[in-house]
Structure 1
Amino acid sequence: MERVPAHGIEVFLAIVREGSMRAAADVLGVGAPTVTLQLKALEELLGIGLLFRTTRGIQLTDAGRVLFDAAAPAHRDLTYAIKKTREMAKSTTGTLRLSLSREAYIAALAPALGEYLAKNPGIKLNISWDEEPVDLVRHGIHGGIRMGDVLTPDMIAVRVTPPIKSAFFASPSYLQTHGIPKRPRDLLNHQCIRQRLPTSVTPREWWVLEDGQDKRLDPPARLIFDSAEGVIQAARDGHGVGWSTRLTLEEHFSRGDLEPLLEPYVKDLPPFYIYYPEQNKRVECLKLLVEFLRSKLRKTPGN
């Protein structure tokens, strides 16, 4: 594929429009010798003269007229497209596409959503509800929110929440029948309800803090779901003990349909991060959301 000598054509068009080499140099913000050299280089590349000087100024050759008639509208359209693209990057209006899990929504976005929308009335959020990371670039998504900052090298991650508390839980009816676990090892003798990612066949690991150390638990699972909602519902129905982020459970604890367990042993999980591809860092709508969530985090005690 033949490459277009864009700089040379831009110089050529400026000379024709302005009527002289010096006027074109002033418009382009370069020296007159640079304009002369770039025009000469373009003519040598094309193998034909494009302009000649007369007592009345600059005149087009026949080849120059062909090039100008074709290139001028194309350059105008390209300039307009670049202008509109830059305006989109700086625009505070438009649709911002995000990918996040239910936990990410509850922890990072929901507490700030009302204020964010009120401050940015021109921005619409198009949210993809995904329980595991998706290819943002492939799906045309501006950014995502996920727990932890372990991402591919081409992603930027910005922390937007404190560490997240976890919780073990079960229904009062289950505990009345099977007893209350006192230590993490007691879970090995209970019916456990665990969660796996939609694309995984194995459940997520359970973690506790015991004797000052992080310890992994792998109790046998009677039920396995591919969503936290399934684990919570099964626990409410009295089928066993579950483990999840506490923020998804507070309403159930308040109502009494679930009870927290093993509270001295619960472990904090990593914070949530908003992440996005390097090429999206100049998208103004995304920049506004990132800075807004960061400002909310800075106001959180201990951050």
Structure 2
Amino acid sequence: MSRTDFNDLMWFLTVAEEGNFTRAAAKLGVVQSTLSHRIKRLETRMGMRLLARTTRSVATTEAGERLRRTLAPRMSEIEAEIAALTELRDTPSGSVRLTLSHHALTQLIWPKLRAVMRDYPDIKLELSVDNGFRDIVEEGFDAGIRLGESVEHDMIALPVGPDWRLVAVASPDYVARHGAPVVPQDLLDHRCINRRLMTAGGLYAWEFERDGKDVRVRVDGPLTLDDDATMIDAARAGIGIAYVPEDLVEADVESGALTVLLDDWSPRFSGYHIYYPSRHRNLPAFRTVVNALRQRAR
């Protein structure tokens, strides 16, 4: 097979994985008409249809799916080996794409990776902030950063930060006006700041635990948000009780601007983990990022 035919195979694989000519063309950096022409040329040479086209999407035929299953793992192996050749360079190089929450980015990951970006100029890092869950394989990410209990079981997962917890906080003025809850169920009689879940779109049920007893409370109140900083500001202003990561309110609690409520009911969660498919573990740039996160975590 000629070199051009191998290029056509790679383009076919991109279309098959994206399921859309427009997205595939954008990913390859070519115009859609050129991509369509190359796929038709490949089908003509092979004497069979590989893709079934509709007005909105593209699906592989039986022959196309068999070719895709044959090509995908081999192309991944080739890409991994080529990337591994950068071991021969003086410094690691390559691109690393991570998906993570805003809290993980600001409080843990970026402070640790700032030095990596300074010390390894040939590494390109993309940090995509999303408080929902992403399919890292399907969406082309190298890894994700999520709490340990949320990590997919078929991934390699390594801790990169300590365990942490959410705490209920309110301003001293709010406590003076409304009193302090003694048990989680008392929150039903309070003005609480709700958290909107980005993934499912529902409201987060506040989770508490003490002496092995788990309690979930669906609170109500005048404000619903999906941003920790605004929740904390609202609590500081006396609008209601917020349930937020403890590390974000340490300074406010120390200064007296906020008071921690139900302290002995706030459980610890498994800390942030980096999770990824096994094929990424030996890529130099990726390994440099993971090592930086792991060493500082230890």
TM-score w.r.t. length of structure 1 = 0.63
- The yes-or-no answer on 1:217 pairing with 2:217 is yes
The separation in 2 between residues aligned to 1:297 and 1:264, in whole angstroms, is 26
Contact 2:235 2:242 in 1 (8 A): yes
Identity in percent: 32
The separation in 1 between residues aligned to 2:297 and 2:130, in whole angstroms, is 23
| Other structure's SS at 2:251 match | helix
TM-aligned CA deviation for residue 255 of structure 1: 4.4
| Other structure's SS at 1:279 match | helix
Residue matched to 2:25: none
Residue matched to 1:178: 178
| Other structure's SS at 2:223 match | strand
Structure 1 residues 133-181: Cα deviation after superposition (integer angstroms, max 9, x where no partner): 2222333322121112443454221111221122111123322221222
TM-aligned CA deviation for residue 196 of structure 1: 2.2
The separation in 2 between residues aligned to 1:139 and 1:158, in whole angstroms, is 21
Correspondences of 1:109-128 after superposition (within 5 Å): 109-128=109-128
TM-aligned CA deviation for residue 237 of structure 1: 2.9
Matched AA of 1:158: L
Contact 1:196 1:226 in 2 (8 A): yes
Correspondences of 1:146-295 after superposition (within 5 Å): 146-295=146-295
Distance 1:82 1:255, change over 3 A: closer
Identify which of 87, 106, 114 aligns with 2:85. 87
Q: Give aligned pairs, total.
A: 223
Contact 2:155 2:277 in 1 (8 A): yes
Residue matched to 1:35: none
Structure 1 residues 175-227: Cα deviation after superposition (integer angstroms, max 9, x where no partner): 22212223323212111112122232321221223234332222334422233
- Please identify the structure whose Cα radius of gyration is greater: 1
Distance 1:259 1:125, change over 3 A: farther
Matched AA of 2:271: P
Structure 1 residues 100-143: Cα deviation after superposition (integer angstroms, max 9, x where no partner): 11221244314423444454343232211111122223333221
Contact 1:89 1:282 in 2 (8 A): no
Matched AA of 1:87: L
Residue matched to 1:66: none
Residue matched to 2:42: none
The separation in 1 between residues aligned to 2:228 and 2:87, in whole angstroms, is 36
Distance 1:238 1:125, change over 3 A: same
TM-aligned CA deviation for residue 89 of structure 1: 7.7
Distance 1:296 1:140, change over 3 A: same
The separation in 1 between residues aligned to 2:204 and 2:128, in whole angstroms, is 22
Structure 1 residues 30-84: Cα deviation after superposition (integer angstroms, max 9, x where no partner): xxxxxxxxxxxxxxxxxxxxxxxxxxxxxxxxxxxxxxxxxxxxxxxxxx99975
The separation in 1 between residues aligned to 2:172 and 2:100, in whole angstroms, is 32
Distance 1:112 1:83, change over 3 A: closer
The separation in 2 between residues aligned to 1:111 and 1:264, in whole angstroms, is 30
Matched AA of 2:185: R
Contact 1:197 1:227 in 2 (8 A): no
TM-score w.r.t. length of structure 2 = 0.64
Distance 1:81 1:141, change over 3 A: closer
> Which stretch of structure 1 is more off in the superposition, 138-147 or 108-117?
108-117
Distance 1:96 1:83, change over 3 A: closer
| Other structure's SS at 2:104 match | helix
The separation in 1 between residues aligned to 2:185 and 2:245, in whole angstroms, is 20
Contact 1:144 1:275 in 2 (8 A): yes
| Other structure's SS at 1:209 match | strand
Structure 1 unmatched runs, 5+: 7-79, 299-303
Structure 1 residues 223-263: Cα deviation after superposition (integer angstroms, max 9, x where no partner): 22233234223323322111121112223334443222222
The separation in 1 between residues aligned to 2:171 and 2:79, in whole angstroms, is 60
Matched AA of 1:242: A
Structure 2 unmatched runs, 5+: 7-77
